[in-house]
Structure 1
Amino acid sequence: MTRSARAALKQPTRTDKPAEPVIDTVIDTDTRLRYRLIHDQLKSAIVLGRIVPGLVLLEGPVARIFGTSRVPVRKAFEMLHADGLLHTFEGRGYLVASPDGSVPEPVRAPLSEAELGFEQAQAPLELPSNSERIYHALEAAVSIAIAFGHYRIDESLAAESFGVSRSAVREALSRLRDFGLVEKSAYSHWLAGPLTARAVAQDYELRVLLEPAALRASYPKLSREMIENAFAEIEGAIRAPDSIDADGIQRLETTLHVDLLQHAPNKKLLGTIDHALMPLTVNHAFFHAFNLHPEPATLVEHRAVLRSLLDGNIDAAADALLVHLHAAHKRTLQRLKVLAVLPEPDLPVYMQRII
């Protein structure tokens, strides 16, 4: 499951119950991000006087500058018009309003990146590519599936589901391969799972050796505020465990096993730990399948680590983390046994079970 919390899957499924396709969710999210960024950048340039009043803004040229389609540009224009920063006129496009809000004479000239405050085209936006925006949905689907068996991922069906090219899907899957979530067969098929008890045990063997060392290395650069916030969140979970769902549990685990370790200078060490976080997949799938809340023992173990960090006792914190990992290993193996007898969950059509 690596570093990110798992979103609910909304893909076309192989059941009679229809589900909202992820293609709509992903594209809508991406569009919202883009039109807001475009709106904010244009608004800033107009208010600061970088763009001459009366300049005619057209969807096509602005879309090319931002490296996007015309749809989010059109939405940004509509918002700026509602704010009184753009005016409509008899020609195509919009006019940039005068500082006093009056309608100036049209000025037909190209809009430059410099006028928008860019040192180079698109630099401040870093808008996601197709492969980036589908990556987390793919990761979520794979992470859930591997707890239930062995699957092949069909590139063509994934591309159709997401409304992107196969190359975009291939690029996202290649990133998942780097984290050990998928592999490519000798016949160039993308494969995922199964997640076995042996694989879980091997991951915990690595984590027991490496995570305490990473915590020690990261500790000098951890801010007091971060530790206090993490401790307060655990205390809140202990007081009201019923308020914490599967995704909330995942956030707590990510704080302990990712965020607290992130400042360790040895990036190869962190990369190895990242590849061994698959047991988090089992736990998330388990709590999600049964709609469970966190166990008190887990929360108390987390608190022991954070309490020692607040006290400035890194040795005690590393020992508490070790105790937690050994206990979590036993709990995860028990959960994996329970998941093995559950029916296969609804999965996207591009996830095809291998018998």
Structure 2
Amino acid sequence: MTRRAGLTAGPNASANETATRETVESNSEIIAVESETRLRYRLIHDQLKNAILRGRIAAGLVLLEGPVARIFGTSRVPVRKAFELLHEGGLLRTFEGRGYLVVGPDGPDGPDPQPLRVPLSEAALGFDEAPAPLALPSISERIYHDLEATVSIGIAFGHFRIDESEAAETFGVSRGAVREALSRLRDLGLVEKSAYSHWMCGPLTARAVRHDYELRSLLEPAALAASAPLLSRDTLNASLREVERAIANPERVDSEALQRLENSLHVDCLRCAPNKKLLETIGHAHMPLTVNYAFYNAFDLHPDTATLIEHRTVLRYLLDGDANAAADALRIHLQAGQKRTLQRLKVLAVLPEPDLPGFMQRIA
């Protein structure tokens, strides 16, 4: 009898195959659990970091793993990892007692706050209501930010076709998950589909930058003026505090923090405008922001003070209740931003092309 390649012959064949399958399934489960834990600690870290930076958690509050884990509906393992990252980032401090202390308003360089031991609740952690048990993002959401970062850097260096199959293999997901993530990037204007249904991105040219800034200079001030009366003062004050901290310590602001500052002004402050079509059109013109992302990542730089001061001016006018002055200040900021972005695009043009993954295929 002919033995088929790849199969184990003999009376133990079935047992061997079963054992192998169980081992593979067990390893897959372990990988899935580890992946889930990584996602959970990142979600907890991001939510606590945002609340601390916005001043929604009292300085000196003692954070303990158990109570925080109960609030988030998770185990202590991801909470412990989130605390460690926040400590490394200077937002939590160790002290003689158990747990960590939330830093004071002066940041990690300020004096140690007095320990504040109160029962930990949703309100104490800066949440208006109890956070739902951590729902892990879909597969497409898990790869979205990595894909966005790759495309954002790539378009500053040329014209690329994105191979869906190779991207799926790179990320270890299905083509459907990649397609869903790319569709979200298309909504932002970062990628497009060709007549032959190929995903394309770039090149980000000086002309495209000028056109997008021209559109934004016309529409964003109008959206801000319409949104201003509906904005929360607490939200504005929190944004202003974050900008003030960035101005005082710009070296602590990485590209991720800068993106958060940009979104605070150019997305969050506009979102209350009742004309949603207006906001959708503005959202399609945010591609030049990727130049700044690529620029700061390429040189490991921090934001220039002029940009931060312009942000602060807009926020102060909003807090003063002067929507028209805020809109004018935003227009001036966008005009200055166009000049800075075009200068950065020139610098990027003379840099060697970064190492991009294989699914980014250059088009001559």
**TM-score of the superposed pair, with normalisation by structure 1:** 0.65
Q: Contact 1:26–1:133 at 8 Å: present in 2 too? A: no
Among 267, 270, 274, the residue aligned to 2:276: 267
Q: Distance in 1 between matches of 2:39 and 2:290?
A: 28
> Deviation of residue 30 (structure 1)?
4.1
> Deviation of residue 128 (structure 1)?
3.2
User: Is 1:171 matched up with 2:175?
Assistant: no
> Deviation of residue 130 (structure 1)?
2.2
Equivalent residue letter for 2:240: F
Q: Contact 1:197–1:336 at 8 Å: present in 2 too? A: yes
> Deviation of residue 240 (structure 1)?
1.7
User: Is 1:310 matched up with 2:347?
Assistant: no
Partner of residue 183, structure 1: 192
> Deviation of residue 140 (structure 1)?
1.6
User: Is 1:222 matched up with 2:238?
Assistant: no
1:27 to 1:323, Cα distance in 2 relative to 1, 3 A: farther
1:175 to 1:246, Cα distance in 2 relative to 1, 3 A: closer
Among 240, 253, 260, the residue aligned to 2:262: 253
Q: Contact 2:188–2:286 at 8 Å: present in 1 too? A: no
Q: Distance in 2 between matches of 1:36 and 1:336?
A: 32
Equivalent residue letter for 1:236: R
Q: Distance in 2 between matches of 1:186 and 1:253?
A: 34
RMSD over aligned CA atoms reads 2.7
Q: Deviations 1:45-80 (Å, cap 9, x if unpaired)?
A: xxxxxxxxxxxxxxxxxxxxxxxxxxxxxxx8999x
Q: Contact 1:153–1:351 at 8 Å: present in 2 too? A: yes
1:255 to 1:77, Cα distance in 2 relative to 1, 3 A: closer
Q: Deviations 1:264-288 (Å, cap 9, x if unpaired)?
A: 1211111111110111100111112
What SS is found at the alignment partner of 2:161?
strand
The 5 Å alignment of 1:1-355 reads 28-30=34-36, 32-33=38-39, 127-355=136-364
> Deviation of residue 33 (structure 1)?
4.6
Gaps of 5+ in 1: 1-23, 38-75, 80-122
Equivalent residue letter for 1:244: V
Q: Deviations 1:200-255 (Å, cap 9, x if unpaired)?
A: 00100110011111111111221111111111111111222222222222221111
Q: Distance in 1 between matches of 2:210 and 2:173?
A: 37
Higher alpha-carbon deviation: 265-274 or 181-190: 181-190
> Deviation of residue 258 (structure 1)?
0.8
What SS is found at the alignment partner of 1:347?
coil
What SS is found at the alignment partner of 2:200?
strand
1:221 to 1:28, Cα distance in 2 relative to 1, 3 A: farther
1:166 to 1:340, Cα distance in 2 relative to 1, 3 A: same
> Deviation of residue 185 (structure 1)?
1.7
Q: Contact 2:231–2:269 at 8 Å: present in 1 too? A: yes
> Deviation of residue 129 (structure 1)?
2.9
> Deviation of residue 133 (structure 1)?
2.3
1:189 to 1:231, Cα distance in 2 relative to 1, 3 A: same
1:313 to 1:126, Cα distance in 2 relative to 1, 3 A: same
Q: Percent identity over the alignment?
A: 70
What SS is found at the alignment partner of 2:269?
helix
1:282 to 1:26, Cα distance in 2 relative to 1, 3 A: farther
What SS is found at the alignment partner of 1:258?
helix
Equivalent residue letter for 1:175: R
Q: Contact 1:151–1:351 at 8 Å: present in 2 too? A: yes
What SS is found at the alignment partner of 1:191?
strand
> Deviation of residue 314 (structure 1)?
1.0
Q: Distance in 2 between matches of 1:165 and 1:140?
A: 19
Q: Contact 1:30–1:133 at 8 Å: present in 2 too? A: no
What SS is found at the alignment partner of 1:304?
helix
1:28 to 1:335, Cα distance in 2 relative to 1, 3 A: farther
Q: Deviations 1:7-41 (Å, cap 9, x if unpaired)?
A: xxxxxxxxxxxxxxxxx99995545457999xxxx
Q: Distance in 1 between matches of 2:41 and 2:341?
A: 43
Partner of residue 6, structure 2: none
